[in-house]
Amino acid sequence: MKLLVFTILVFAFVASTHAGISPEVYWKVKLPNTPIPKVITNFLPQSDNIFPEMKQDNTKEKVYYGLSGYIAISWHHAINSAYERLMLKKVQEKENPIKQVTDGPLNQYFILEKDLEKGTIINYPSLLNKNEAPFLPRRFAESIPFSMEKFSEILNHFSIDSKSKDAQTIEKSIKLCEEPEVKHKEKKTCATSLESMVDFGISVLGTNNILAITSEVQGETQESQQYTIEQVQQIADGDNMVCHKLNYAYALHYCHVGGSTKTFMVSMVGTDGTKVKALSVCHKDTSFWNPKAFPFVSLNVKPGTPICHFLQDDQIVFVPI
């Protein structure tokens, strides 16, 4: 009986301790075998007072944007909008056989795994996303409404004009988060805090023995240029979780596991001397994607063909080790 009481007290202490510790310490406790990527540590709160500062200081950004704008997460959807058809036409008219998209919500480069080899030359926009949205401690993030049902409350909370670009951005990000999962092949969440990102990763990957990695850029000065692949290293083969940073009023990540993948670290050098280690994720099973999805049409391949893409430096890949 005494042992049972002691065990309950220990669990209660751990739970209460986790509730009060910083996001950085929470990571180290939950994921002891991987360091926190710089793209996370650079935007962690320096103190518990970050939330009042964000709320009261009208000089701060209300919504934070990355270079890629609204990230196209749902590649498996059909090409429907006039904008998407226009972007596809631009891709197909390029003389360079290596396909790319250079702006807008389809700012994502697709490639076949066989092309991930030394000497391949690719054109790619900036790997620096520059979304500087700060993380909120979980208890603050969870006190803020997050759903389309509470859309007006969210705008009021951040003093955002309902007719502004910021309001449209908030709406797009929330709607993306509320899209249903793709059949049985996808597990996803929108993490409003670092703690919720960590918990979801452990849950879907089934372990806390995890490596968290990002693309790395040294000295990039151009928004788009040619890169030559110098080395390709396979990091993992199997399920991974990718977290994409969305445009929002604070750090919001679309985290998902989309079927079996291969993860590569691709070392490249740009025409201006920029050196990058770019993460590339190859989706091995694309049979459940829409046949009219952008990657199939742009690469002229059929569903089931493995599709690879690079990740900008604020997108985090979690793989079991």
Q: What is the pLDDT along the chain (321 residues), one digit of tens a residue?
A: 433 333 333 333 344 344 578 999 999 999 999 999 999 999 997 655 555 445 444 545 689 988 654 444 555 555 554 445 555 555 555 534 333 433 333 334 688 999 999 999 888 878 887 889 999 999 999 999 999 999 999 999 999 999 999 999 999 999 989 988 766 667 899 999 999 999 999 999 999 999 999 999 887 766 778 899 999 999 999 989 999 999 999 999 999 997 789 999 999 999 988 899 999 999 998 887 778 777 887 788 888 899 998 888 889 999 999
Q: Is the pTM of this model over 0.85?
A: no
Q: Three-class SS of residue 62?
A: coil
Sheet of strand 210-213, all strands in order from the earlier edge strand to the far edge = 187-191, 252-257, 241-246, 316-320, 210-213
Closest by CA position to 128, among listed 216, 213, 38, 251 = 216
Side-chain half-sphere CA neighbours of 289 within 13 A: 27
